[in-house]
Chains A and B, each alone.
Chain A
């Protein structure tokens, strides 16, 4: 069975309010309010299940420990990730929006600063999501990875800007004001 012949199902179970982590090897992945719930595909229709699995695989391969939380009070990428970085035992976090936009953040940085940012979500491939997970894990264990290559295509803007705005608005409908992030248990089932 090769990776093209099966489908991945994701089960996200809420297990209470997310607490500050103590494990220095942990990397928190903060997903947006609607990720894998009201919305289940990115802007280029890649399953959220595959995206999250690649990120978590990348983190695990480097020997770090992934933890998934859902941000509820904000869908803003920078603030989701920055908030998660404060809770991460290593100080490293990944922020991930439903449309696929992703960032690697660090505790001591300003919210709008970051370690690596991938703003053009339509261009991010599953391999890149794996590499982003890998890099985040390497930052967490104190290594210095080369940044993941950011692809740039000036046509993505005119082509996807409207869709991106709509997806963000849709995401914002799942916001719960003043609600703290919740801890999630992510399980993946592989089916033929």
Chain B
């Protein structure tokens, strides 16, 4: 009987066992992998269908046009607050990401600094979200006396979005042909010109698609915001010292609150969340693909 003892050692002669048992193994792997993939697709669809169905069957116009406290009223304040917070997070994270990525890809930058910057960007992605939230609470809310506010919540989100954005933007900068950049420098362009005429226009698509992805992640975050943005039964009245509502809070609080209506609000918020998040991911993928 031929044995496959050597085919893992590469280079040596490959001797197969008889096809029968090998084909059976192949069939087993085939069947098993399809079953697992099928189960996961069913699970994914069932989560989506459940959330969409329970949201759609309890939605009422009143919920979308009134403000509320997760047990009564609507979720308008939470919808608006979510986008205010995400916008604030983007404001605090997008400019530093672009500039930081420009530094990292610039061949005339200090290599050690670039390396350290990249390393810390990687590490920052792995900080648990509640640790960022805790930090935001003790430093921004308490020490810097911002109170539960749009700025504190936005900064907490920005800490999470920053490393994602910086890395995605860095990758889209690196996809630009090197010759083009070298030529620009050879013709006497300075760094500002290279950034504004080559890096930014060329990487526009990648940056946009990455930004949408970061927004989709930020819109679904909760733990950072609980103790930085707080909550508000109405709209935030300013940038500081005024809590902000957001959808994920309604889901969390609503489902734990013992009334039927609060559960409905949670379902509706979950539906809005999952629709926005998957919508953003889909758009991001679509834009990214055309590149």
Q: Do A and B belong to a common assembly?
A: no
B contacts, CB < 8 Å to A? none
